[in-house]
Structure 1
Amino acid sequence: TRWPPAVAMDRGTAALVCPSAMDIQQLRCFVAVAEELHFGRAADRLHLTASPLSRRIRELERELGEELFVRGYHQVRLTRSGRDLLEPAADVVRRFDALRAQRPDRTARPARDIGAAPVLTPSVVDLVLGTFTRLYPDIELPITLERSAVLMDMLCARKIDLAIVHLPVTDPGLRGLELARYRYAVATRSDDELASRRRLRLADLTDREMLMPSSKLQPLAMKNLRDFLVRAGIRNLNELPHADSIHLAARVIRTRSITLVAADPDNPSTRNFAGPDFALVPLDEPDLHFAAGVAWRADDESADPILARVIETLRTGRGVTPLVI
């Protein structure tokens, strides 16, 4: 088997060049399963649950174009390709960990990697970052912008330390804290018959096509929203293949469809429906809302004192300016 440069390498550190789709966490997951020959034990060893671990292995197999394991009902064993990969992959992981150990001590200037969903209202992100910097003025906060579902996976893979996301959190290895709860508004064309209404109920919308962004944004939150709409009698739901609010706005203008947006003018998605062409009518459904907050790995709350203090401050609201909900 001819492996790509990340695996078929000489012993020099300079040869550790990974192809773009492969990352160190995939190799770390592979090595753990290959050494344990058991997905459950490997997941425990990596402080992951079985689902993200299995997904990482599948991603690596797709990247390499090879099956690495024979998966039986009660046992796992390496394929020939898996046996060929194990030693060089373990060497890459050892070298990477050695490089991390040689980094300057971060205690003098602490840093935590933060993920944030770009469509969240800025006040939620500002609250979290502001709490960090108020408690730890010298802290570095590199930020990764990705949709909530991707950030949850990054947390499980230990690529980030805290995620500012749409809730709820479903992975048993993660914990979540709600910081804000937002109501919805109905976005229509300004010349739509609904635009003149002061408020709307879902019962007023049962004969209209309602556009929804892709459920990939946050699968469980979007499923909960869809289920709520169906129970309320909304039958003509059209889920688009992406979460682009600009495209949603264009569809509303061109097709006279409607959609739901956050009833918050500062929300990045809602701002795309500003201007004379659109109307935003508050939706009077007290039980329908979406939640935003933070997520983190459960074991970090006891192992990371900086993170634990920030979470506790957010949880108790000590010295934190409340969000307008």
Structure 2
Amino acid sequence: MNMISKLLAASALALTGGALQAAEVKVAFNGADDPETNAEAAFVEGFAKALDGTGFEVSSFPSDTLGSEKERYDQVSQGLIEVDLAALSTTFGQSSFGKGIQLPFFFESREELDAVFAETDVRDTINEPLLQNGVRMVGLTYIGMDIGIHNTQRPIATLEDLSGLRFRALNSEQLALQEALGATGTIISWSEVANALQTGVADGYFNPPNSAIRTGHTEFLKHFTPVDLTPSTRVVLISEDWYAALSDEEKTQIDGAIEAGVQANRDWITAWAGEVRAKHEAAGVTITELAPGEREKMMEVARETWTAALDEAALQAWKDAKASVSE
């Protein structure tokens, strides 16, 4: 074999190795790899099924096996993880405009949020700084129904009932909401929540109703109030470097798989919506509805946190986007 032939053979081998490596799509997410109980696992299952026969091979990595939320975000940015189902807050350091997704009492429903994300330019605005850091937000997932209030102490039917309770906060924005509602909060990582609840470090948390069920927290979280604070949103992030290197055909396949994953996630939510109350009651959880007018009181004080989360221009952009899909 002459030198040119050797170089061509080496190049072909390198390209083949690169193609084999690119064919694996690593998907990281939270919770157990169980589509029956985990809405994110349902996304992964739908995503993987859509890629059957395409040459892509999906490898799933549940329960932080590839690191913490921040560590996974950094790996997506570096092209080490292709797809990450991530906490929305992991993007705030580079794209604070995304805080509009989680404004309390801002969206009327998950369907309205989906429409704003799909039909307006808010996604492009969120992505502008993310793309500069090698990350692209391509979708929203929900981990359950809309967020309510779980606690270990007492039924909550009024705004005043929150006084004296201390809640686990996901981030500084949720902490600000808890304080605006008259409670106190403390930021605790999810892995430490069970211990915090059992030791009294926290009296509860703001989460969708199914969170306590799938984690077994109903053993000590015996009170739940459906408040519909905000959709229980997480985000689908992909590596921009990886995606940009795909062929047009491969991009179409990945885009279709993301749509299939999102639909599987929404189907999971629909299925669980009819079961979650019975599951709560079977676990001995008391479900307390808000008294008339109390949700409106919560909405009024929660609006104070909107201007703390977003500047005037950004907040107006979200309001305009919401209005445009309601027309």
Q: TM-score, normalised by structure 2?
A: 0.51
Tell whether 2:165 aligns with 1:208.
yes
| 1-structure distance, mates of 2:46, 2:254 | 10
Cα separation, partners in 2 of 1:251 and 1:100, compared to 1, 3 Å:
farther
Deviation, structure 1 residue 279: 0.9
| 1-structure distance, mates of 2:50, 2:207 | 29
Higher relative contact order (CA 8 A, sep 6+): 2
What secondary structure does 1:311 align onto? helix
Deviation, structure 1 residue 296: 1.0
What does the per-residue CA deviation read over 1:113-163, in whole Å, with 9 as the maximum and x for residues that have no partner? 222123797222222332222332464323334232221111012111110
What does the per-residue CA deviation read over 1:280-306, in whole Å, with 9 as the maximum and x for residues that have no partner? 41241x343431231013354443254
Tell whether 2:175 aligns with 1:175.
no
> 1:290 pairs with 229, 232, 237, which one?
232
Amino acid at match of 2:52: Y
Tell me what 2:20 maps to.
106
- 1:91-240 pair list within 5 angstroms: 103=17, 105-106=19-20, 110-118=23-31, 122-137=38-53, 139-145=56-62, 146=64, 147-168=68-89, 169-170=91-92, 171=94, 172-173=130-131, 174-176=135-137, 177-180=139-142, 182-189=145-152, 192-194=153-155, 200=157, 202-212=159-169, 222-234=171-183, 236-240=184-188
Give aligned pairs, total. 207
What does the per-residue CA deviation read over 1:27-80, in whole Å, with 9 as the maximum and x for residues that have no partner? xxxxxxxxxxxxxxxxxxxxxxxxxxxxxxxxxxxxxxxxxxxxxxxxxxxxxx
| 2-structure distance, mates of 1:203, 1:166 | 30
| 1-structure distance, mates of 2:31, 2:262 | 26
Amino acid at match of 2:232: F
| 2-structure distance, mates of 1:224, 1:308 | 36
| 2-structure distance, mates of 1:232, 1:319 | 34
Larger Rg, first or second structure (1 or 2): 1
Is residue 165–residue 203 contact of structure 2 (8 Å, CA) maintained in 1? yes
Amino acid at match of 1:167: L
Tell me what 2:324 maps to.
none
Cα separation, partners in 2 of 1:132 and 1:183, compared to 1, 3 Å:
same
- 1:240-251 pair list within 5 angstroms: 240=188, 243-251=191-199
Is residue 263–residue 270 contact of structure 1 (8 Å, CA) maintained in 2? no
Cα separation, partners in 2 of 1:202 and 1:100, compared to 1, 3 Å:
farther
Q: TM-score, normalised by structure 1?
A: 0.51
| 1-structure distance, mates of 2:75, 2:159 | 36
Tell me what 2:267 maps to.
322
> 2:254 pairs with 310, 313, 322, which one?
310
| 2-structure distance, mates of 1:158, 1:165 | 15
Is residue 72–residue 84 contact of structure 2 (8 Å, CA) maintained in 1? yes
- 1:72-87 pair list within 5 angstroms: none
Is residue 27–residue 58 contact of structure 2 (8 Å, CA) maintained in 1? yes
Cα separation, partners in 2 of 1:203 and 1:119, compared to 1, 3 Å:
farther
Cα separation, partners in 2 of 1:100 and 1:148, compared to 1, 3 Å:
farther
Q: Runs of 5+ in structure 1 lacking a partner?
A: 1-98, 214-221
| 1-structure distance, mates of 2:245, 2:160 | 49
Root mean square deviation of aligned Cα: 3.8
| 1-structure distance, mates of 2:212, 2:15 | 40
Is residue 114–residue 143 contact of structure 1 (8 Å, CA) maintained in 2? yes
Q: Runs of 5+ in structure 2 lacking a partner?
A: 1-12, 95-129, 271-327
